[in-house]
């Protein structure tokens, strides 16, 4: 989950998008441009005269790409011209040989640098002794930060850019359906060197994002130290929840508690509000020395009230540092000059306007109020803001979490037990035993400091890593549910690294697609425990659950997008001003799409997500993942899940809409989910 975002951001640093016509880049946009348009045109003309019109397009684009990236330290104009004439490959067979060599060597470098990163970050990400300053120094070090500089220095980057042209998203959309697998692999090779980011900037971004991840990974609330106005302890001893994931999931679990569930939900809700507005006392963050009444914000030692120290702006200081770090890339991405355009057009490869249109379409749909009314009738009360996380879409009574935890803790007392069970989980999901063992032999399980994440390999036959929390008493149900989600990521990562025909096409179109597999797995968590729901209306409940989950996360994502727009409009903002802006934007989005449904005019709850703080603009991938997941879920209905996942995901990293067309026969859309939701409401309300 989270680690996939880190990888996506790291890729963004080195794979910044450029425009179709590189010649349009000018010295005003990038002062470092050294080769003039006239010098570029002269080299193009000479190569065309030598090789003919058959190579004209590749010559034009390749030379323009190299010219845009060439700097004074690379040589003078004559050196540029000689390099292009000497290095352009016109012969088809020779080009295929060059591609194979580049692809193999890029895999070697990516794979071993990734292994170094995994090892250096282990003290920060896995359970163990307290993190030391030295751990942070090594964990935030990017061993590959100078790789791109080195590849420009030895001309490998220029050789690649010269021979494998970049195609814009528009061109990939228009032409990609007619491309062969090799042509797609060539196009992805053309995406590899399209910017030239100095190593110092890459290193600073790595350091900043690592520090943000460490801040969030250690942001825990000790729930057994919370007290209500009567001084009562509502949560069990030893319950320690990370924000926002743990708090949210505990809130969800209390829908199954008819006695004190609502009271506990309201307490968690207040904790979240305190985190957002930063009135939360520092003394209660990852610290068990004080008891705390979130409602009054009083803290106590041995029953005596003391004055706490509000966190004030720390959360937003971390956010702001991320903004300034990512903004350094702007000057090196002249045609995608903001983090917003890089996140959508370059990385997600779905334009921001199209993404927002999908979100607003669902948030504004008439089904929202109908589903909300249905939820209220089931709860027997008016909805409250935290009911945005309602998860009771099931027939009959939900299984109390205590019973589920008793089952999961017996089944998974430690990480070894979980790792040993992974092949059996895949068999239950439809894989044959041989393939299940093959996939899981490349997945290892680690005990995580944070909520858990999946981290894929960067070369074939290397390990994908499932990080999850397992307490001294074994894995609780929340940890199990998250682990199943992360295992879905690991399976996708392993298939798309090892079973895709070209290394340059490994992976998925964007992180929404790996989230889709993770959701497919996560929804089957009870089935994997032998608790499969035999309810004939299960498909209807699933539709309502998917709809409500999308409704929740789409609003959160709009807040994330609008905060980044605000930051670009106010680049000199302070952390205090950013806090005010996040709160104001959260209120605005809430009032537009939620207040009339869940109440709470000027509610700030949409600002709670930790992704906003440690993974820049990752949140929109989640609702896109929900939509993709739902369409895939419909596609696999009545079919073998394993076979369908392998069929779809071995397409690799072609563009999203073409991937979807091949996978399910339609582009990404809210229409199937809206139609299924309406059908479910009509069926379940009879």
pLDDT tens per residue, range 607-648: 999 999 999 999 999 899 889 989 998 999 899 999 999 999
Sign, CA dihedral 502-504-507-512, equals negative
In this prediction, residue 140 carries a pLDDT of 87
Residues of the chain with CATH 3.40.390: 401-525
In this prediction, residue 469 carries a pLDDT of 85
DSSP 3-state assignment of 453?
strand
Instruction: State the Cα–Cα distance between residues 117 and 10, nearest whole angstrom.
Output: 12
Instruction: State the Cα–Cα distance between residues 347 and 510, nearest whole angstrom.
Output: 7
User: Please, are residues 495 and 439 in contact by the beta-carbon 8 Å criterion?
Assistant: yes
Judged against a pLDDT cut of 80, whether residue 27 lies above it is answered with no
List the one residue out of 151, 146, 157 whose CA is nearest residue 66. Answer: 157
**403 Cβ neighbours under 8 A, 6+ residues apart:** none
Q: How far is CA 449 from CA 123, 226, 241, 453, in A?
A: 9, 22, 11, 10
pTM: 0.81
Q: Report pLDDT digits (tens) over 235-281.
A: 999 999 999 999 999 999 999 899 999 999 999 999 999 999 999 99
Instruction: State the Cα–Cα distance between residues 555 and 592, nearest whole angstrom.
Output: 10
User: Please, are residues 638 and 627 in contact by the beta-carbon 8 Å criterion?
Assistant: no
In this prediction, residue 24 carries a pLDDT of 38
The pLDDT mean for the chain works out to 92
Confidence of residue 28 (pLDDT cuts 50, 70, 90): very low
Torsion angle of the four alpha carbons 252, 257, 263, 268, in this order, in degrees rounded to the nearest 10: -30
In this prediction, residue 247 carries a pLDDT of 97
Judged against a pLDDT cut of 90, whether residue 675 lies above it is answered with yes
Q: What share of the chain is helix, strand, coil (3-state, %, to 5)?
A: 65, 5, 30
Q: Report pLDDT digits (tens) over 87-111.
A: 999 999 999 999 999 999 999 999 9
**230 Cβ neighbours under 8 A, 6+ residues apart:** none
Peptide bond into 223 cis (omega under 30): no
Judged against a pLDDT cut of 80, whether residue 384 lies above it is answered with yes
Q: Which of 43-52, 230-239, 328-337, 562-571 has the lowest mean pLDDT?
A: 328-337
User: Please, are residues 107 and 503 in contact by the beta-carbon 8 Å criterion?
Assistant: yes
Confidence of residue 114 (pLDDT cuts 50, 70, 90): very high
Peptide bond into 415 cis (omega under 30): no
Class of domain 401-525: alpha beta
In this prediction, residue 32 carries a pLDDT of 59
**402 Cβ neighbours under 8 A, 6+ residues apart:** none
The token pair that represents 398 in the structure block: 């939900």
H/E stretch holding 454 reads: strand 453-455
Instruction: State the Cα–Cα distance between residues 49 and 46, nearest whole angstrom.
Output: 5
Judged against a pLDDT cut of 80, whether residue 26 lies above it is answered with no
Residue bearing tokens 């009879």: 686
Confidence of residue 20 (pLDDT cuts 50, 70, 90): very low
Phi–psi pair at 220, nearest 5 degrees: -115, 150
Instruction: State the Cα–Cα distance between residues 246 and 71, nearest whole angstrom.
Output: 49
Rounded to an integer, the average pLDDT of 351-368 is: 97
Phi–psi pair at 551, nearest 5 degrees: -60, -45
Q: Report pLDDT digits (tens) over 530-547.
A: 987 667 888 899 899 999
Judged against a pLDDT cut of 80, whether residue 7 lies above it is answered with no
Judged against a pLDDT cut of 50, whether residue 16 lies above it is answered with no
In this prediction, residue 565 carries a pLDDT of 98
Judged against a pLDDT cut of 80, whether residue 14 lies above it is answered with no
Angle at 578 between CA 574 and CA 584, to 5 degrees: 145
In the sheet where 304-306 sits, what is the strand order? 291-293, 298-301, 304-306
Sign, CA dihedral 115-328-150-349, equals positive
Judged against a pLDDT cut of 60, whether residue 6 lies above it is answered with no
Angle at 286 between CA 280 and CA 288, to 5 degrees: 95
From its phi and psi, is residue 184 left (phi > 0), alpha (psi between -120 and 50) or beta? alpha
Phi–psi pair at 215, nearest 5 degrees: -60, -50
Judged against a pLDDT cut of 70, whether residue 8 lies above it is answered with no
- Cβ density class 65-76: b for 16+ within 10 Å, e for less: bbbbbbeeebee
In this prediction, residue 397 carries a pLDDT of 57
In this prediction, residue 418 carries a pLDDT of 97
Q: What is the DSSP letter of 616?
A: T
Q: Report pLDDT digits (tens) over 272-319.
A: 999 999 999 999 999 999 999 999 999 999 889 999 999 999 999 999
In this prediction, residue 9 carries a pLDDT of 47
Instruction: State the Cα–Cα distance between residues 208 and 323, nearest whole angstrom.
Output: 10
- In the chain, pLDDT over 90 holds for what percent of residues? 81
- What is the separation of C-alpha 52 from the centre of its chain, rounded to a whole number of angstroms? 45
Judged against a pLDDT cut of 80, whether residue 230 lies above it is answered with yes
Pairing between β-strand 443-447 and β-strand 464-468 as defined by DSSP bridges: parallel
Torsion angle of the four alpha carbons 479, 485, 488, 490, in this order, in degrees rounded to the nearest 10: -50
In this prediction, residue 157 carries a pLDDT of 97
Higher pLDDT pick, 386 / 12: 386
Judged against a pLDDT cut of 50, whether residue 520 lies above it is answered with yes
Rounded to an integer, the average pLDDT of 507-514 is: 91
Judged against a pLDDT cut of 70, whether residue 77 lies above it is answered with yes
Judged against a pLDDT cut of 90, whether residue 80 lies above it is answered with yes
Judged against a pLDDT cut of 70, whether residue 13 lies above it is answered with no
């Amino acid at each position: 989950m989270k680690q996939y975002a880190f990888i996506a951001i790291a890729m963004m640093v080195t794979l910044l998008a450029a425009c179709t016509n590189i010649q349009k880049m000018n010295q005003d946009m990038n002062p470092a441009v050294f080769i003039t348009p006239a010098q570029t045109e002269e080299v193009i003309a000479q190569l065309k005269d030598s090789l003919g019109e058959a190579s004209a397009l590749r010559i034009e684009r390749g030379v323009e790409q190299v010219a845009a990236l060439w700097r004074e330290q690379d040589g003078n104009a004559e050196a540029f011209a000689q390099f292009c004439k000497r290095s352009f490959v016109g012969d088809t067979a020779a080009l295929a040989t060059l591609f194979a060599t580049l692809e193999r060597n890029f895999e070697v470098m990516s794979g071993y640098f990734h292994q170094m990163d995994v090892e250096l970050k282990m003290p920060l990400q896995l359970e163990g002794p307290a993190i030391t300053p030295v751990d942070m120094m090594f964990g935030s070090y990017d061993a590959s930060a100078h790789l791109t500089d080195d590849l420009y220095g030895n001309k490998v980057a220029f050789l690649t850019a010269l021979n494998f042209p970049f195609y814009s998203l528009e061109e990939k959309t228009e032409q990609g359906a007619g491309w062969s697998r090799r042509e797609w692999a060539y196009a992805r090779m053309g995406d590899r060197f399209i910017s030239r980011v100095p190593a110092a900037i890459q290193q600073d971004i790595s350091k900043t994002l690592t520090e943000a991840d460490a801040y969030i990974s250690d942001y825990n609330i000790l729930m057994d130290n919370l007290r209500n106005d009567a001084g009562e302890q509502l949560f069990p001893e030893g319950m320690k929840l990370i924000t926002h994931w743990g708090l949210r999931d505990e809130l969800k679990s209390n829908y199954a508690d008819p006695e004190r569930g609502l009271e506990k939900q309201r307490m968690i809700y207040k904790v979240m509000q305190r985190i957002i507005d930063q009135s939360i006392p520092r003394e209660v963050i990852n610290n068990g020395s004080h008891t705390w009444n979130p409602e009054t914000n009083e803290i106590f030692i041995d029953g005596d009230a003391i004055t706490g120290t509000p966190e004030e702006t720390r959360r937003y200081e971390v956010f702001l540092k991320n903004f300034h770090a990512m903004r350094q890339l702007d000057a090196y991405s002249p045609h995608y000059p903001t983090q917003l355009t890089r996140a959508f057009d370059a990385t997600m490869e779905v334009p921001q306007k199209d993404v927002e249109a999908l979100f607003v379409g669902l948030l504004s749909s008439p089904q929202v109020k109908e589903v909300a009314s249905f939820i209220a009738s089931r709860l027997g009360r008016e909805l409250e803001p935290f009911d945005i996380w309602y998860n009771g879409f099931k027939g009959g009574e939900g299984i109390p979490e205590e019973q589920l935890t008793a089952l999961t803790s017996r089944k998974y007392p430690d990480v070894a037990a979980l790792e040993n069970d992974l092949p059996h989980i895949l068999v239950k999901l439809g894989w044959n035993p041989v393939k299940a063992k093959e996939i899981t032999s490349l997945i290892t399980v680690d005990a995580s400091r944070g909520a858990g994440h999946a981290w894929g390999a960067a070369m074939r036959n290397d390990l994908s890593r499932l990080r999850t929390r397992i307490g001294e008493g074994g894995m609780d149900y929340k940890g199990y549910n998250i682990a199943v989600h992360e295992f879905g990521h690991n399976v996708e990562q392993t298939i798309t690294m090892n079973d895709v025909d070209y290394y340059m096409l490994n992976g998925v179109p964007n992180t929404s697609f790996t989230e889709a597999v993770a959701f497919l797995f996560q929804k089957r968590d009870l089935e994997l425990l032998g608790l499969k729901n035999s309810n004939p209306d299960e498909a209807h409940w699933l539709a309502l659950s998917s709809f409500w989950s999308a409704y929740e996360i789409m609003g959160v994502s709009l807040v994330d997008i609008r905060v980044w727009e605000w930051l670009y409009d106010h680049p000199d903002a302070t952390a205090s001003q950013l806090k005010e802006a996040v709160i104001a934007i959260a209120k605005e989005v809430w009032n537009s799409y939620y207040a009339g449904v869940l109440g709470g005019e000027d509610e700030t709850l949409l600002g709670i997500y930790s992704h906003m703080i440690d993974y820049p603009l990752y949140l929109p991938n989640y609702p896109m993942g929900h939509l993709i997941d739902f369409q895939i879920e419909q596609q696999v209905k009545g079919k073998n899940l394993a076979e369908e996942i392998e069929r779809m995901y071995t397409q690799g990293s072609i563009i999203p809409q073409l991937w979807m067309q091949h996978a399910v026969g339609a582009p990404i859309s809210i229409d199937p989910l809206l139609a299924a939701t309406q059908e479910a409401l009509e069926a379940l309300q009879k």
